[in-house]
Amino acid sequence: MILAGDVGGTKTNLALMRPGGEGAVAESVAERTYASRDHAGLAEVVAHFLAEVGRPDDGIDAACFGIAGPVVDQRVTTPNLPWVIEAGELSKQIDVPEVVLLNDLEATGWGIATLGPEQLVALNDVEAHIGSNGALIAAGTGLGEALLMRPQQGAKHVHDFRPVAGEGGHCDFGPRDELEIGLLRFLKERYDRVSYERVISGPGLYNIYQYLRERGEHGHEPPELRAAIEQDDPSAAVSRAALVDGIKLARATLELFVELYGAEAGNVALTVMALGGVYIGGGIAPKLRDVLCDGHFMRGFTAKGRFAAMTKRMPVYLILEPKTALLGAARRAELALGVTL
């Protein structure tokens, strides 16, 4: 039996799974979701989980956790929680002989191979090149990025990759035109440094909204939207105003957000020559599916001057499956057991 986890600043998803073996997806036996901040550390969450679902009679052979934060030498200090997680110590605490820690985007990258056609939406009509690498980008509370390298022994199918974690979301924001230069200036008044995460994330969406509101070119902010922003998560309120109420200012915000998202996805794709596929993960993208698919994302993605033709040869997929990171953690735990993937 294996234990898989997707650990975020807000919630932690855990699952006991039965290894699937070569070419098969691990089978979930029990799953639970916990509020991360209600626990002193990951070991406490795991103990809570096993107390609820029961530890398997034959024990747990391996565990893998995808964690929001940079993992170095199998150790991570979580940026949004007061937790320090070290694989060797955690192994002793939860009584599991093999424990692997991954960055959450790395876990998502491992999970891509488990996805079927119904769990992906193609944003363009391009065939993936099975011999080429891929890229992964995911906006949520922050902006995660990962490179997707092909296995040395060769990929078994088009979505088969070996992910490499990165922190590209913290690279400097590069505006492309006068509107975006104005956005950079607007954000420089608030932050010492402006990274892509300041614009392509949940908080980033609201940053864009405030900038466009100040410019005043897309109409005034309706009183009901102002009230919703004050009472709710601001980015969620703006998204709802755009998608449900059709408010012009909110709609302009989403369109610029999505085009910037596409532009940075194109940057990552060119970095690794992602002819094998570019994948959009995270919690925001599925909620903005209609806007992502209406051309704004691909406009930003392909606006690469002399390399526009190259980006048009890269297939782009939206990930719909919310458990991709959990499935990826299970897949990496299987590898730790010597299972051929």
294 and 184 within one domain:
yes
Residue 109 is assigned to a structural domain of this protein: no
Residue 218 is assigned to a structural domain of this protein: yes
Residue 172 is assigned to a structural domain of this protein: yes
pLDDT beyond 70 at 86: yes
CATH no. for residue 56? 3.30.420.40
291 and 175 within one domain:
yes
59 and 145 within one domain:
no
pLDDT beyond 70 at 130: yes
Residue 111 is assigned to a structural domain of this protein: no
274 and 156 within one domain:
yes
Report how far apart, in Å, the C-alpha atoms of 126 and of each of 123, 163, 272, 315 are: 9, 22, 17, 5
Residue 110 is assigned to a structural domain of this protein: no
> What pLDDT is recorded for position 20?
82
Q: Write down the residue that tokens 């299987």 correspond to.
A: 334
Averaged confidence pLDDT in the chain: 95
> What pLDDT is recorded for position 10?
86
Q: What is the mean pLDDT of residues 194-206?
A: 97
| Residue, of 184 and 140, whose pLDDT is higher | 184
Report how far apart, in Å, the C-alpha atoms of 183 and of each of 8, 207, 230, 241, 319 are: 29, 9, 23, 21, 29
> What pLDDT is recorded for position 280?
98
Q: Write down the residue that tokens 């807000």 correspond to.
A: 10
Tell me if 47 sits within 8 A of 30, measured CB to CB. no
> What pLDDT is recorded for position 25?
84
Model-level pTM?
0.94
pLDDT beyond 90 at 22: no
Residue 282 is assigned to a structural domain of this protein: yes
> What pLDDT is recorded for position 155?
76
Q: Band the pLDDT of 110: cuts 50, 70, 90.
A: very high
Q: Band the pLDDT of 43: cuts 50, 70, 90.
A: very high
* Count of structural domains within the chain: 2
172 and 65 within one domain:
no
124 and 98 within one domain:
no
Report how far apart, in Å, the C-alpha atoms of 218 and of each of 209, 253, 292, 326 are: 11, 9, 20, 41
Measured CA to CA, the distance from residue 232 to residue 251 in angstroms comes to 18
214 and 138 within one domain:
yes
Residue 188, domain extent: 116-320
Neighbours of 205 (CB within 10 A): 27
Tell me if 99 sits within 8 A of 73, measured CB to CB. no
CATH no. for residue 295? 3.40.367.20
- Compute φ and ψ for 85, nearest 5 degrees: -120, 125
Residue 341 is assigned to a structural domain of this protein: no
- pLDDT per position as a tens digit, 245-266: 999 999 999 999 999 999 999 9
192 and 61 within one domain:
no
pLDDT beyond 80 at 153: no
pLDDT beyond 90 at 235: yes
18 and 165 within one domain:
no
166 and 95 within one domain:
no
pLDDT beyond 70 at 341: no
280 and 209 within one domain:
yes
Q: Band the pLDDT of 296: cuts 50, 70, 90.
A: very high
Q: Band the pLDDT of 326: cuts 50, 70, 90.
A: very high
Tell me if 144 sits within 8 A of 138, measured CB to CB. yes
25 and 135 within one domain:
no
Measured CA to CA, the distance from residue 318 to residue 255 in angstroms comes to 17
Q: What is the mean pLDDT of residues 118-143?
A: 95
